């Protein structure tokens, strides 16, 4: 099936396994959203509670679709995946780094 600029879909085992994994992840996220929506509307009167559930679920689905679209578009950018994978590496603490004077003083307090 040709989808124009979005590429094509072939209904093979690879496509079906990816589709099933996306559906499972979506169900997990939907369960999490249901808990958050229930906590948010629990103190509302019954007529507003029903509206809150409907609008909350609709907004959750809409945001998920919108975010999935933008992420799919960003993944087409060259070298974005390697750069995104390397960025968190700068935040990992280095156990070999030199200790500062302040950290030495704080550890010496406990040694005496």
Alpha-carbon distances of 107 from 29, 91, 102, 111, rounded to whole Å: 44, 24, 9, 7
User: Would you kindly state where each structural domain of the chain is located, as residue ranges?
Assistant: 9-81
Report d(CA 110, CA 65) in Å as an integer.
53
Q: In a structure prediction context, what are the per-residue pLDDT tens digits for the chain, which is 112 residues long?
A: 666 666 667 778 887 888 888 888 877 877 788 888 889 999 999 999 999 999 998 898 888 888 888 888 887 888 877 877 777 766 666 666 555 555 555 555 555 4
Task: Dihedral sign for Cα 46, 51, 54, 60, please.
Answer: negative
What's this model's pTM, rounded to 2 decimal places?
0.52
Report d(CA 93, CA 43) in Å as an integer.
43
């Amino acid at each position: 099936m040709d989808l124009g600029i979005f590429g094509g879909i072939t209904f093979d085992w690879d496509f079906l396994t990816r589709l099933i994994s996306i559906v499972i992840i979506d169900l997990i996220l939907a369960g999490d959203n249901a808990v958050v929506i229930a906590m948010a509307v629990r103190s509302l009167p019954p007529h507003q509670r029903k509206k809150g559930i409907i609008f909350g679920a609709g907004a959750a689905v809409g945001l998920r679709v919108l975010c999935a679209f933008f992420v799919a578009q960003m993944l087409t950018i060259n070298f974005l995946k390697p750069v995104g994978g390397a960025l968190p590496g700068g935040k990992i603490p280095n156990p070999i780094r030199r200790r500062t004077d302040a950290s030495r003083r704080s550890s010496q307090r406990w040694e005496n």
